Amino acid sequence: MAGKAVGDEAGLWVAQEAIIIQFLPENASQPLKNAKEIVLQMPRPKFHAQFLFERACPHCRKIVRVLVHDYGELTPENLDEKTGMHNFPVLPVKCPLCAGEDWPTHAVLFDATEDRVVRRVPLGTADLPVVGGGAPYAVTYSPEEQAELERGLAKLPEFFRQKGEEFWERYCAWALSRWRDALKEISPEEWAEGYASLGVSLPGHPSPAACRKDAEARFASDKEKTAAWRALNRWLVEKEFLWIPVDQWPVEEWAARYGRERVTWLLLNLPLLEELERWRTEKLAPAVPKKTCGPQAVLWERIKQLGQALDRQRRRSEELSRLLQEERAARHNLEEKLAAARAEVSRLREELSGRPVEAGRNPEDARRIARLKSLVRELREEVLHLREMLPREEPAPDKEEPTPVTAPAEEVPRLEDVLVGRIVVAFGRVGEPLNGPVRILWHHGDRWDLDAERLAKEADVLVVLTRFCSHEAMWAAKEFAADTGKPIGFARGSGVESVLRAAADVWARQKKEQEFL
């Protein structure tokens, strides 16, 4: 199987082609290990294949998987066909326990029948690059790069049909020029495959050495050697180099399995489309021979250096990606704490707002004042209305007392002492201003006029002489007091003594209230 995974919404995706799983060829006499050692030793003809994304939830300490694609019941060969070129969006995976979201770290091929992981590949690595940026993956391709790669890979089979013959000729010529050494690099699996396709039986004990001796004896002419070389190399060329996408070539593993000389020659000479050429350069570095000599030594050295630089970069970006993952886990932690703190703050706030206001001139006070003022205004209007209905001449003060607020006078301090330096305005009669320790000013109290307003503003304490003041003036004075917060007292008599007592009472009461507040 070859396939890749991918993301549109997040601008990220994984071309599923990057997950390479190779199965046993049906006619293989023994397990043929592929480049990535992913050999499915199939006990059953079919299995239920699922493609999943996976991450660990750092909070719940659980592995979270999300199904990306269900292939259903498949034989390995079917899977291979079906998964050819799928692009799967890479999206954050939600944890079902804590609902936290984060980017998946692995792609998983899962066998649902046996409930087992067939293959697990880290995302955003050289093994499974993610296409698109913006997520914390070490190896990402830009969409343009991926498109170019896909274009190149799509055209490769046709391209190779055209260039194949010429390639095989050169490849065989190279092998024939070093026939004995070339044969040394043929793997046991290739001997089996090649001999089977040539219709020749393997020697009784098919060790590589025995096979090589057999081949040296058996294939004498160039024509025979060429045919044999093609048969022995078909697997390597067609099922490895051409089958596995160029960006995924496991060069080092190939060098170990198929011989460094052959693999290097193929890396240098396999026909590739221009779109894929950059990968050839990149893949060459790991194949550089350990000891270099001859005219190409300098060139090899340079390739090795570049390859090492690339490798360092890659390791660094993988390290950075790991750090980023850790950072994100830490941030996740902090965010949780922050959320808890916010919840606590809003809980406290709610608790506070439910509590009665206990101090200061708070909104509740303001509301109370507003209520009082509107009550006062209503009453004053009522009074004006009543007054219009009365006969003109007499604004006769009535007997009844408007809200007598006389508090029981306990051991009252001397009135002048309480009010010393203050101005008291009495409404209800005219008189000479009194300029003692306490100033007393008078207003006729017939109605609330400009004079009344001015005096009220000057006053520290207002006193209404209830038996002499008009209703209108009284209510206006009350409104004024409610508005400004100045104390207002009520006196039955009209003498200085009455006025002072009423003023001192209300003044003291207000002082006490303010102290209490």
Residue ranges binding Zn ion (CB under 5 A): 57, 59-60, 95, 97-98, 100
Distance in angstroms between the alpha carbons of the first and the last residue of the chain: 83
Q: What is the DSSP letter of 10?
A: T
Please state, in angstroms and rounded to a whole number, the distance separating the CA atoms of residues 328 and 323. 8
Please state, in angstroms and rounded to a whole number, the distance separating the CA atoms of residues 31 and 40. 9
> 55 or 260, CB closer to Zn ion?
55
**Measured at CB, which residue is nearest to Zn ion?**
95
> By C-alpha distance, which of 463, 515, 471, 470 is closest to 487?
463
- Check the CA dihedral 264-265-268-271 and report its sign: negative
Residue 63 CB, shortest distance to Zn ion, in Å, is 10
- Distance (Å) of CA 400 to CA 34, 193, 428, 429, 474: 113, 125, 15, 18, 13
> 332 or 467, CB closer to Zn ion?
332
> 60 or 338, CB closer to Zn ion?
60
Q: According to the 3-state scheme, what is the secondary structure of 300-358?
A: HHHHHHHHHHHHHHHHHHHHHHHHHHHHHHHHHHHHHHHHHHHHHHHHHHHHHHHCCCC
Alpha-carbon torsion angle 13, 15, 20, 26, nearest 10: 130
> 101 or 127, CB closer to Zn ion?
101
> By C-alpha distance, which of 148, 101, 149, 389 is closest to 248?
149
Name the β-bridge partners of 22: 39
Residue 65 CB, shortest distance to Zn ion, in Å, is 13
Residue 115 CB, shortest distance to Zn ion, in Å, is 22
> 281 or 333, CB closer to Zn ion?
333
> By C-alpha distance, which of 200, 278, 266, 201 is closest to 235?
266
Residue 91 CB, shortest distance to Zn ion, in Å, is 16
Please state, in angstroms and rounded to a whole number, the distance separating the CA atoms of residues 75 and 81. 10
Residue 104 CB, shortest distance to Zn ion, in Å, is 14
> 313 or 333, CB closer to Zn ion?
333
Residue 321 CB, shortest distance to Zn ion, in Å, is 21
25, amino acid identity: P
Please state, in angstroms and rounded to a whole number, the distance separating the CA atoms of residues 394 and 405. 27
> 59 or 387, CB closer to Zn ion?
59
3 state DSSP class of 82: helix
- Check the CA dihedral 111-117-120-123 and report its sign: positive
> By C-alpha distance, which of 456, 513, 482 is closest to 371?
482
Residue 301 CB, shortest distance to Zn ion, in Å, is 51
> 60 or 330, CB closer to Zn ion?
60
Q: What is the DSSP letter of 422?
A: -
> 99 or 389, CB closer to Zn ion?
99
Residue 96 CB, shortest distance to Zn ion, in Å, is 8
> 142 or 333, CB closer to Zn ion?
333
Residue 120 CB, shortest distance to Zn ion, in Å, is 20
Residue 66 CB, shortest distance to Zn ion, in Å, is 13
Alpha-carbon torsion angle 289, 290, 296, 297, nearest 10: 170
Residue 103 CB, shortest distance to Zn ion, in Å, is 14
Residue 138 CB, shortest distance to Zn ion, in Å, is 24
**Cβ atoms 418, 507 nearer than 8 A:** yes
4, amino acid identity: K
> 239 or 332, CB closer to Zn ion?
332
What phi, psi does 82 have (nearest 5°)? Answer: -65, -35
> 55 or 257, CB closer to Zn ion?
55
